[in-house]
Chain A
Amino acid sequence: MKFSFFHLMPYTHLELESRDWPFPNRYFDPAKASVLYRSYVESMIHAESCGFDWVGCNEHHFSPYGMMANPNLIGGALAYSTKHAKIAITGNLVPLNNPIRIAEEYAMLDCMTGGRLVAGLMRGIPHEYLAYNIPPGESWERQREAVQLILKAWTEPEPFGWEGKHFQYRQVSIWPKPMQKPHPPLVISASNADSAKFAAEMRATMGMVLLADLPSGKECIRVYREAARAGGWEPVPENILVGMHTCIAETDAEARRHLEQGLKYFDQVLMGGLQVSQRIVLQKTRYFESDESRDRWKSRLDKRRTLTLDEQIERGTVLCGSPETVVAQIRRIHAELGHGVFNFTVKVGTLPDDVIRRGMELFRDRVLPHVRDL
């Protein structure tokens, strides 16, 4: 089993109250953010010495939910401060950006890290489409076209042009090209059947986060495996990434207390405005290809929001407890899902950085030795 230390980089200096979207940036204090960025990046660097195989972050806009408008900048900060860990950018929001720029920046990171990039090519959650003024109904078309264009930019041996529906380039010849051949490993989110099929079609690692329960995760994995087989390949466990909120402390009670506190801020503040914008996008557009996918997505988030922490632990959708408890939880979830990459979201809301640090050390000393060989 590989373990990934994922950082959402939230802004944590807000009052506990929900707001509309977009979250007014008059509440943003750059001096406080400067301290947060440094602390977050230092945690990510430290993660390597705690035995994490991947260190990752992702892209979000216009919200305290995550301060990484461009996660590739964080990748650059990690490139020379880490030695062995994969730098997992999970990922750039492909339909919202210039795909050639993504191909270039990822290629830079791959060269800068000596071939340690894991390249996430994500469609993005609905509110990001409001931020960048991209029609949500075009999200799938843009995603499909842009991913193919990025792969071409990485792998074509000669300069080429691209005449597409959403993207047109008369000649492309990126410098640098990625170090890993034919290209860096891909991660594509696969939290519903449509995206699971697409991830399989692209031979990407499937990524699932914020699961409502294990059976729904299992179903996505089934769809992914089936689509992969139909496409002529067989995924290995490392092609399945499962991400969860994680809190490890000396005792179960301590871990629960910290995570509960962090989740309160996560759900009320960080997710607050996003829920408003997501409701608008989902009601008014064809962000999802089918009503079924839309309803399943909504119900997944609704379910997660209404569950107590105890219920989430019971369902196996968060990792929380003493090292021994977390070992048991990892074993149980692995037995159910058979995944090969476990992605820990450790900075849950306002969960204190010193608690996270201690949790990372407990992971290294008392968790990892018991689950490495899963």
Chain B
Amino acid sequence: MQPQASRVSLSSGELSYYAAGEGRPVVYLHPAGGVRWTKVQDELAGSFKLLVPVMPGFDGTPAHAPVKSMRALAALAAEFIDKVVGAPCDLIGCSFGGHLAAWLAAERPALVDHLVLECPAGFRPRGHGGRPPDPEELKKLLFLHPEKLPPETKTPDIEAANRRMLPRYGYSPETDEELLARIPSIDKLTLILHGTADRMIPKESVQLLKSRLPHAYLVYIWDAAHAIEVDQPERMLAVLMSFLQRSEGFMVNWGTLAINPG
């Protein structure tokens, strides 16, 4: 499904976003590498109205002068939901976007229905995991199955510019203590996804989150590194779609996993 590129004017500047599909709105907050349209986005757009804002400074878009922290970026994402969706929506955040989604859910809970934190950054115990500066090392940590990676559409300049945005927003390899203290207040039904071979975000991060969130489910995706969407899109979708469509009922085996259905 081809996403539609649009822009919306927000208080600190213009924000680019992609939209695709019809139905209940789902907002997807992208990882530090910027927007990558994968099978996961395609499938989501097949059942929902998928909106993917491009955070300022990523993918060649201009930065917004006053937005200089994760908290401020979360406020901007909330403004995007207010203006473009105009109602509570399901919120998915991947890695850097997961950190952001957690901030948004803590700050503006009324805007969030289901919350999905996909290998979320921001909760790493000291000394565990991390994002290596070397692009080749980074690739090894991101993908267990690099052969599944779709052709890269971003230029090296854009990739470098995306990386430069991380310090601007106060991205740190370690736990965001301020946010962590607020995690227990997030009462949204939350799905946490983690690849069993993710060495960038260690399992201790998601275990910590799971222990603090009052209504969370943690699901490990077998044979996936950090980029679950590339390594195992079908497995991720099996869990994600069921969660978004059935809430707690995603725990029930609806027969789609049966060996001999019918």
Measured CB to CB, the residues of A under 8 A from B are 145, 148-149, 152, 156-165, 167-168, 170-171
Contact = CB atoms under 8 A, between A and B. Distances in A.
Given A158-B207, A168-B257, A170-B253, 4 more contacts: A159-B210, A160-B218, A162-B220, A163-B238
Contacts of A145: 222-223
A160 B222 contact: no
Given A148-B196, A171-B217, A163 B251 contact: no
B222 A162 contact: yes
A164 B251 contact: no
B222 A170 contact: no
Nearest to B203: A156
Contacts of B253: 170
Contacts, number: 55
Given A163-B222, A170-B251, A156 B239 contact: no
- Chain B CB within 10 Å — which of A156, A160, A167 has the most? A160
- Chain A contact surface mostly: mixed
A161 B251 CA distance: 9
B161 interface: no
Given A157-B211, A158-B210, A164 B218 contact: no
Interface string B243-255: 0000000111100
Interface of B: 196, 207, 210-211, 217-223, 232, 235-236, 238-239, 250-253, 257
Contact of A164 (B222, B236, B252): B222
A256 to B, nearest CB: 51
A165 B221 CA distance: 9
A162 B238 CA distance: 11
A137 B221 CA distance: 22
A52 to B, nearest CB: 38
A156 B208 CA distance: 11
A49 B253 CA distance: 49
19 contacts: A145-B222, A145-B223, A157-B207, A158-B210, A159-B217, A159-B218, A160-B210, A160-B218, A161-B218, A161-B220, A161-B239, A163-B238, A163-B239, A164-B223, A165-B235, A167-B222, A168-B238, A170-B217, A170-B250
A164 B210 contact: no
6 A-B pairs with least C-beta separation: A161-B219, A164-B222, A170-B251, A158-B210, A163-B235, A160-B218
Contacts of A148: 196, 222
Contacts of B220: 152, 160-163
A278 B214 CA distance: 52
A10 B185 CA distance: 60
Contact of A158 (B218, B222, B235): B218
A103 to B, nearest CB: 14
B43 to A, nearest CB: 15
Contact of A156 (B207, B235, B250, B252): B207
Contacts of B196: 148
Contacts of A171: 217, 251
A161 B235 contact: no
Given A148-B196, A168-B257, A160 B235 contact: no
A209 to B, nearest CB: 30
Nearest to B250: A170
B194 to A, nearest CB: 9
B220 to A, nearest CB: 5
B235 A164 contact: yes
Contacts of A157: 207, 211
Given A170-B251, A171-B251, A161 B217 contact: yes
A163 B236 contact: yes
Nearest to B253: A170
Given A170-B250, A170-B251, A163 B211 contact: no
